Amino acid sequence: MALRPGTAWIVPGLLLAGCAALVIGSLQSSLFAQQTISGLANGGIYASLAVALVLIYRATEVINFAQGAIATFTTYVAWQLIDWGLGYWPAFALTLAIAFAGGFAIELVAIRPVERRGHQLSVVIASIGLLILIEGAIGYIWGSEIKFMPAPFPAHVYRVGGVAFSRQDLATIAISIASVVLLWLLFQFTKVGLAMRAAAVRPEAARLVGIRVSWMLSLGWGLAAMLGAVAGMMAAASPTTLLQPSMMDGVLIYAFAAAVLGGLESAAGAVVGALAIGVTLNLLGSYVSWVTPQLLLPAAFVLMLVVLLVKPSGLFGRTRVRKV
């Protein structure tokens, strides 16, 4: 990172300070603790989607505008499976597999032809076309009335020292973190994960060692779709979210903000950004009276803007040297 000496500690320092503030606040006030946990749960949902965005961005420098819509679609698929009688967790597992296949297929059919001949902006527009297509498809197949998605965990509240934590929130945090960690393990320790990383950073050199770069891209889209499915399922499980075609629109925005905050090329950054956004927005909403629900979105935007003005390549991004 091209930083002035001494500034390398700013980001970790700030994060640590933030965490400390959260812990202290939680110990002082049970409302604070509850809002922190549910903020983390929201952040977990944003994190899954944000990592999906980063996955695709790292490999292709393209922002996939359809990521949220794909996540919503897979959530509808899960709903349908459950409606047909499958249990929640078998449906979840099957949905993940279907999401993978779907993401893979979308890259093959819709993205590859565009990528072959166009440049990044064409692919971005194609992803917007995909967004319109998929949300339309949801409406066509399932209609746009709100569906009821059964909750995976019967509503249960854990009480620790006078603070109430919902089981769903804790499960969301756990599942989101687990999926990101599993992905990390895949990338670090498997042959295919290494090949995907190589294809993302140096596609030409990767071809020379025999990696089929275009298949790696499709794999990436498949994995991203799986992460989206996790995000969608967790979002639908929350009592305040309704299963409708536009369900993930808002989450997509927060996921963008998180990914940008984190530096777009760093999955870890996206996770940190997502958790930060989730917690900050929740706390802002609870404690600052003039921050109404409508202002949450602009608030996230302001947060993103502030970080970018200070560090234009995001918290964990690398400042690139542009070759003339």
Partner 1 sequence: MPLLALRDVDARYGQVQALRGVTLTVEEGEIVAILGANGAGKTTTLRAVSGTVRRSGTIELDGRSLARSGPERAARLGVAHVPEGRGTFSELTVWENLRLGAHTRRGALKDDFRRVLGYFPWLEARRAQQAGTLSGGEQQMLALARALMQRPRLLLLDEPSLGLAPLVVAEIFRIVRELNEREGTAVLLVEQNARTSLATAARAYVLEVGAVAYHGTSDELGERDAIRRSYLGY
Partner 2 sequence: MRLRRSSLAGPAVAVAAAVAIGVLPHWLSNYHRSTGADVGVFFTAILALNIVTGYTGQISIGHGAFMAVGGYTTAILTHDHGWSDLATLPAAALVGFAAGVVVGLPALRFRGVYLALTTFAVALAVPQIAKNYPGFTGGTEGLALPTHSGLWLYRTAWVVAGIVFVAAWLLLRGRTGRAFRAVRDSEVAAASSGVSLPVYKTVAFGISAGVAAVAGSVYVLVNNFVNPDVFGLQLSLYVLIGAVVGGLGSLWGVLVGAAFVQLLPLGLTSSSLTSSQLVPVIFGAVVIAVMALLPLGAANLLHAVLHFGSRSAQSADVPLGTEGR
Interacting residue ranges for partner 2, rule: CB under 8 A? 57, 61, 63, 65, 110, 113-114, 116-126, 128-137, 139-140, 249, 253, 256-257, 260, 264, 292, 294-298, 300-301, 304-305, 308-309, 312-314, 320, 322, 324
Q: Is 279 in the site for partner 1 (CB under 8 A)?
A: no
Q: Which of 271, 251, 255, 254 is nearest to 315 (CA)?
A: 271
CA distance 111 to 114: 5
CA distance 267 to 180: 9
Q: State the Cα angle at 226 between 224 and 228, rounded to 5°.
A: 70
Report the number of secondary-structure helices (H) and strands (E) in the chain.
Answer: 13, 2
Strands 157-160 vs 163-166: parallel, antiparallel or unpaired = antiparallel
Q: Given the complex with partner 1, which of 209 and 309 has the nearer CB atom?
A: 209
Q: Given the complex with partner 2, which of 31 and 124 has the nearer CB atom?
A: 124
Tokens of 231: 């995000």
Q: Is 216 in the site for partner 1 (CB under 8 A)?
A: no
Q: Given the complex with partner 2, which of 112 and 197 has the nearer CB atom?
A: 112
Min. distance of Cβ 319 from partner 1 in angstroms?
Answer: 15
The residue assigned the tokens 């025999």 is 210
* Inter-helix orientation angle 267-287/249-262, to 10°: 120
Among 195, 230, 251, 303, binds partner 1 (CB under 8 A): 195
**Candidates 145-153, 188-196, 269-277, 298-306; binding stretch for partner 1 (CB under 8 A):** 188-196
Tokens of 276: 């930060």
Q: Given the complex with partner 1, which of 200 and 224 has the nearer CB atom?
A: 200
Query: Residue 194's binding partner, choosing from partner 2, partner 1, none, with beta-carbon cut-off 5 to 8 A by kind?
Result: partner 1
**Candidates 66-74, 117-125, 202-210, 223-231; binding stretch for partner 1 (CB under 8 A):** 202-210
Query: Residue 140's binding partner, choosing from partner 1, partner 2, none, with beta-carbon cut-off 5 to 8 A by kind?
Result: partner 2
CA atoms within 13 A on the CB side of 57: 23
